[in-house]
Amino acid sequence: MGEAVQLDDPAFEAVVATHHGEIYRYLRRLAYRGPEADDLSQETFLRAYRARHRLTPNANIRAWLFTIATNVFRNHVRSERRRRVAHASLQVTRRELDLDGPEAEALAGEVRTLTEAAIRRLPLKQRLAFTLRKLHELDYELIGQSLDCSAESARAHVFQALRKIRTTLNGHALPPTESTR
C-alpha cells in the first residue's frame, strides 16, 4: 500500500460537502429525471467511500469523483439499454422544459432547448466529453482519464459535438454575441 492515504470519515464528509453539488448537477444533466440523478449521485459517493483507501495523497479528488460519476452513468445507460427503456430520442420530446422562463425568454429558451436536445442525441462519449468540458470545465487530460481515451480524442469528441450542435441550430437566430474583432 505505502502510498495510499486514508480518508477518514470527517475527511470524507468534507469531500461530500465540497463536491456533492457539482457531481449532482453533472448527473442531473446526464440523467433524464431528477430521482435518477439522485440515485446516481448516491451511487457515485458510495462507490467513492468504498474506494477511498485507494486514493493517493496528491490525487485530484474532484477529477476522481467525475470519473466515478461518469462510470456510474455509463453502467446505468448500459443496464437501461438492456432493459430497453429510456430511449434518448424519445425522452427528449417528453422532457419537461422546466428551465424555460416567461414569454420574453421564449426565443432564447427555444434555442437552449434545441441545444439540450442536440446534446442528448450525441453519441455517449461525445456527450460525456462535451458535458465535462463545456459545462464543468475539466481539462482534456482528466476527461481522457474519465473516458479511457487520450486527451486528444477527448478534444476530438468535444469538437465533433460542437459541430453537431451547430448543425442542429442552423437556420435559428442565435442571441447576439459581442463583436468578433
Nearer to another protein, 80 or 116 (CB): 116
**Cα 73 from Cα 39, distance rounded (Å):** 10
Residue span binding another protein (CB under 8 A) among the ranges 36-44, 58-66, 68-76, 146-154: 36-44
> Taking the alpha carbons of 79, 82, 83, 87 in that order, is the dihedral positive or negative?
positive
The count of other CB atoms within 10 Å of the CB of residue 145 is 19
For residue 62, the Cα-to-chain-centroid distance in whole angstroms is 13
Residue 162 binds another protein (CB under 8 A) = yes
Nearer to another protein, 71 or 159 (CB): 159
**Residues 136-155 as x/- pattern, contact with another protein by CB under 8 A:** --------------------
Residue span binding another protein (CB under 8 A) among the ranges 67-75, 82-90, 112-120, 142-150: 112-120
Size of the site for another protein (CB under 8 A): 44
Whether 166 contacts 156, CB under 8 Å: no
Q: Which amino acid is at 31?
A: A
The count of other CB atoms within 10 Å of the CB of residue 7 is 20
Helices (H) and strands (E) in the chain, counts: 8, 0
The count of other CB atoms within 10 Å of the CB of residue 16 is 14
Residue of the chain from 11, 123, 135, 152 that contacts another protein (CB under 8 A): 135
**Residue 167 Cβ vs another protein, minimum distance, rounded to whole Å:** 10
Nearer to another protein, 24 or 64 (CB): 24
**Cα 64 from Cα 52, distance rounded (Å):** 10
* Interacting residues toward another protein by CB under 8 A: 1, 4, 6, 9, 12, 16, 20-21, 24-25, 28-29, 34, 37-38, 41-42, 45-46, 49-50, 53, 98-99, 108, 111-112, 115-116, 119, 134-135, 159, 162-163, 165-166, 169, 174-177, 180-181
